[in-house]
Structures are given as structure tokens and as C-alpha cells.
Amino acid sequence: MATSFYITTPIYYVNARPHIGSAYTSIAADVLARFKRQEGCDVKFLTGTDEHGQKVAQSAERLGKTPQTFCDEVSAHFRALTPLLNLTPTDFIRTTEARHKKAAQALWTLLYDRGQIYLGIYAGWYDVREEAFYREEELIKGKSPSGNSVEWIEEFSYFFKLSAWQQPLLEFYKNNPNFIAPDYRRNEILRFVESGLKDLSVSRSRLTWGIPVPNDGKHVMYVWIDALANYLTSLGFPDSLRELKQFWPNCVHLVGKEITRFHTIYWPALLMAADLPLPRQVFAHGWLTVEGQKMSKSLGNVIDPHDLVCAYGADAVRYFLLREISFGEDGDFSERALRRRLNADLANDLGNLVQRVLSFIHKYFAAQVPLRRDFSKEDQDFLKIFPQILNRVQKYIDQVFFHRALETIWEGIVAANRYVDQQKPWLLVKSDKARLEVVLTVLLEGIYRIGVLLRSFIPISAETILNMIAVAPEARDFSYFYTPYTPVGGLPPLDILFTKVQENAC
Ligand code: ME8
């Protein structure tokens, strides 16, 4: 039976349109989903929108819309990322859907029935914009740490007994050292949990735009318990536990570093308290800045993924984000750097390789691949790097190190270009046609594997490459990687892969 794999993105708040940050996580999740499919896994890939809370209700009111209409509109923009960036989610969840309300309430009831939730009083300085409470000592000149105004609030609230889960959590981290990745985030979380945990307020009585607390119409669930439950909803919880059993043990939650605590402390504690199984891993990636600055509406530097895709194509955006930034660490987005990568890596290294080899076959062999396999030692040395590359790429993907995986694939591309330069097919045309046939066969073997390796990263271009060399659809998965390249018929006309852009135009 195929291995099951479940990858999730955070569900995005609908109080802002999608930007390069949400695109970043979704692209990364998509590469994992596609890669695991190529490995033959049964993959679920979940993304969606987080639609409850005071901020959403306020934004809707400002625009004179009902919260639901407002959510419908903004959620549609997030859904539109799927065709734009060529994403392949198997489910798009909205927290305002009936199935989610049912799952979140079922999780609540499980917790309540097990004595894990109790009614208490919450008091603190409340930042409405952030929907967060702060202690007196956390305020800066009477404002929240983000500079927003705060109001003093005392209200009834349900609490989750988080404090009771300190030891089980520490035990869990010890027994599952890969649960929090990368390593350096793990240490931060361990220190935080070791310093003691307070019970967590999980309901609001002053809010109406949320999921009602079961058996208490005066409260709605606070956004986090509602939001985290989305990962269960998509698996058919609570109606069936079949998918939960199947996918949960190999589930990776991909998140931005700012929500690591919610996913690595609150979420496993809630699941343990409900006696539900735990996901395999939370991978927290770094924060993107734009030209060295924090992205913000007020600075006017929020990058819209639509503009980027229109200018450079989805593949260049996908490639740039995953190649330029070490996944896990913070990184900077700059259009100039994107242009440089597009020209140097994609158009020069990859595009030219494919172009120069295939144009030879079109020109001198009437688009019929001259398969000739009396390989020399040199040819074999070149070809044997590809299985090694696949091995390393698989390891890097399992560590969620996309930049390393791409670097490794590029070793193959650079080696192929070097092979062309050494073999000089333009001279062989005149001097040794038999050797030319062997050299072109070797290069097609290489290009075939490069195409297969790149499929999950730059799907449009990789499929174009594989189409141009007439590879059958079923031969594009890793199970064929070790079998010889076998074209189905002659080569179709050449397509342009990447067009160079002016580097200093912005
Ligand atoms: O936190 N750099 O939603 P959100 C990198 N609804 N990634 C970024 C980014 C940036 N500058 N900006 C956003 C929420 N992201 C909750 C999540 S999950 C149960 C609930 C990405 O709309 C990153 O993945 O604020 C981050 O964690 C996510 O968008 C936050 O999205």
C-alpha cells in the first residue's frame, strides 16, 4: 500500500489579501505534495482560510458588508492562488463551513467531557487589532507591543488546562525529537515549556463572529482552538476516524515561525488532552522581508503574487523563493535578485542546456532521437551522478531543505553543460556522427532525469522539457528514474522555456 502523506499550510486570515508571504508557504507545501506524489505516496494537501474573529467582523463592518459576504470575497482571492501559482491542494478549507463548525465543536466537547476545559475569569489589556491580551508589564507606553491601543477587559472565559500538560509535552518532545523543526526552533520551544505553562483562555463572550461554544450560547470559541481544528476537519473528523488514522502519523504542518508556539505547544496539548493522536512534525520557516524591510500596508511594499506571476511566470517565482532563501531562516525578497536568478539559473543554465541539445536533434536528425548506447567511461561517469542526486534530493526534501535540494539538482545541470562543452557536439557533426549519436543519447538521459527532478519545483517548465523529449506521462515519476530514457516517437517542436529579462530594470 502506498505511504500516506499529509501536508498543511496555515489557514490564512481573511483580513488581508494574499501576498508574497502566504504564497511562500503555499508554494513550499505544494513542492512537498508534488514530490511525495512522484515518490508514489497517497498525498493530502490542505490549505484554506481562517475566517472568524473580531478583526474580520470589524473589517466587514467598515465596508458595510456582512462578515460572511466579506469572508466569501477575500477567501476567493486565496483560492485563486491555486491556479495562479500552480498549486495542487486536495482540499481548501474555510472555517465558516458547516463541516468545520462540527469538527471544532466536537473537539471542544471531547475536551470538556474529559475535564480539560473550565469556566473562569479573564482579565487583561486587550489589543483589538491583534485579538491578543497583554499583561501590564508587557505594555509599552500604554500600548500593546505592536503599538496598538489597548482596553482593560474582565470577562468570563473558558480555559483549557494547558498547565497540566507541561510534563507530557516535554516527554513528547523528548521521544519525538523531529516533531519541531528546524532544530533551532525546537530549543526555543523547549525553554518556553520548561519555564512553565499557564492555562489558556479559549473562548470569548464579547464576540459573536465565531463558532458557538457547545452548550453555552454566551461564548464563541477563541480563534486558535477554532483555527487549529481545521487540520482535523479536512480528515473527516468527527464522523470518521479512518483518515485520521491513515494520514495523521505522517502529517507535516508547515507554518511561519511566528505561529510555532500555537502549533508545537497548544496544538499537541489540545490533542493529547482530547486523547487524539499527534501529527508527525511542525516545520516553521522564516520570515520574508521585502528589499530588506518588513512588509506592511503603511510602507506600501506588500508584494502581490499576481503581479509577480504576470511579470515572470509562476515557475520563476516558485524557483526563486525556494532557491534564494534557506528554508527555515529569514530571507529577503528583491525583484532584482529574482531577475538575476531567472536569467542565470533558469534561462542560462537550464534553458540553454535543453535548447542547444534539442536543436541539434531537430537540425541533424529530423527530430528523431538517435539512441545509441555504446557509452564510454566518461559517459558513464557523467550519468552515474543522477541516481546520487536523486538520493540526496530525497533526503533534503524529507528535511524540508528546498534550497539544498535545488542546489543539488543544479549540480546535475552544471555537469550536463560541462559535458556538452567537453564533448563539443558541434565538431562531432563534421567528424564522427556515431559518437555524436552517443553523446546526444547521454545528454537526453541527463535531461530526462533533470526534468523529472524538477517537476515538483517548476512544474510548467519541467513538463515542457519532458514533453519536448517525448517522455510518456507515466515515466515521469521516480519509479522510472533508473530505467533508460525511452522517447515515444519523434520529438515535437521546440518550446521556449524561459525568456531573459533586463536585470537592472527595477
Ligand atoms: O497566522 N514571510 O494567519 P496569517 C513568510 N490564521 N511567511 C509569511 C509572511 C512573511 N512575511 N507573512 C505571512 C495566521 N506568512 C492564522 C494561522 S493556522 C491554524 C492559523 C505566512 O494570515 C506564514 O506561513 O497571519 C505565516 O505563518 C502565515 O502566512 C500566517 O498567516
Q: 30-76 pLDDT, tens per residue?
A: 999 999 999 999 999 999 999 999 889 989 999 999 999 999 999 99
Q: What is the mean pLDDT of residues 273-286?
A: 97
Selection from 282, 301, 257, 260 nearest residue 20 by Cα = 301
Q: 234-245 pLDDT, tens per residue?
A: 999 999 999 999
pLDDT above 80 (res 130): no
Which has the minimum average pLDDT: 198-212, 317-331, 425-439?
198-212
Ligand 1 within 6 A of CB of 255: yes
- The per-residue pLDDT for 127 is 86
Q: CA angle, corner 142, sides to 140 and 147, nearest 5?
A: 60
Ligand 1 within 6 A of CB of 257: no
For residue 25, the CA-to-ligand 1 centroid distance in Å is 8
pLDDT above 80 (res 206): no
Ligand 1 within 6 A of CB of 131: no
Residue 149 neighbours by CB under 8 Å, 6+ apart? 127, 143
Nearest-atom index, ligand 1, CA of 16: 22
| pTM for the structure as a whole | 0.95
- The per-residue pLDDT for 300 is 85
Residue nearest to atom 29 of ligand 1 (CA): 22
CATH level 3 topology of 4-285: Rossmann fold (3.40.50)
Ligand 1 within 6 A of CB of 11: yes
Residue nearest to atom 24 of ligand 1 (CA): 256
Q: What does each C-alpha distance from 302 to 18, 62, 290, 334 come to in angstroms? A: 10, 22, 8, 12
Residue nearest to atom 12 of ligand 1 (CA): 21
CATH level 3 topology of 335-480: Isoleucyl-tRNA Synthetase; Domain 1 (1.10.730)
In terms of C-beta density within 10 A (0-12 exposed, 13-18 middle, 19 or more buried), how is residue 236 classed? middle
Query: Edge-to-edge strands of the sheet including 203-204?
Result: 203-204, 216-221, 212-213
Ligand 1 within 6 A of CB of 159: no
For residue 256, the CA-to-ligand 1 centroid distance in Å is 6
pLDDT above 60 (res 176): yes
What band does 505 get if pLDDT is binned at 50, 70 and 90? low
Ligand 1 within 6 A of CB of 259: yes
For residue 22, the CA-to-ligand 1 centroid distance in Å is 6
Nearest-atom index, ligand 1, CA of 254: 24
For residue 8, the CA-to-ligand 1 centroid distance in Å is 12
Q: 283-312 pLDDT, tens per residue?
A: 999 999 999 999 888 888 899 999 999 999
Contact by Cβ (8 Å): 446, 416: yes
**Could you identify the residue written with the cell 489589543?**
127
- The per-residue pLDDT for 208 is 87
Contact by Cβ (8 Å): 231, 46: yes
Ligand 1 within 6 A of CB of 319: no
For residue 23, the CA-to-ligand 1 centroid distance in Å is 10
For residue 13, the CA-to-ligand 1 centroid distance in Å is 8
Ligand 1 within 6 A of CB of 227: yes
pLDDT above 60 (res 449): yes
Ligand 1 within 6 A of CB of 480: no
pLDDT above 90 (res 411): yes
Q: 364-401 pLDDT, tens per residue?
A: 999 999 999 999 999 999 999 999 999 999 999 999 99
- Amino acid type, 156: F
Residue 295 neighbours by CB under 8 Å, 6+ apart? 19, 20, 21, 288, 289, 301, 302, 303
Domain spans, the chain: 4-285, 335-480
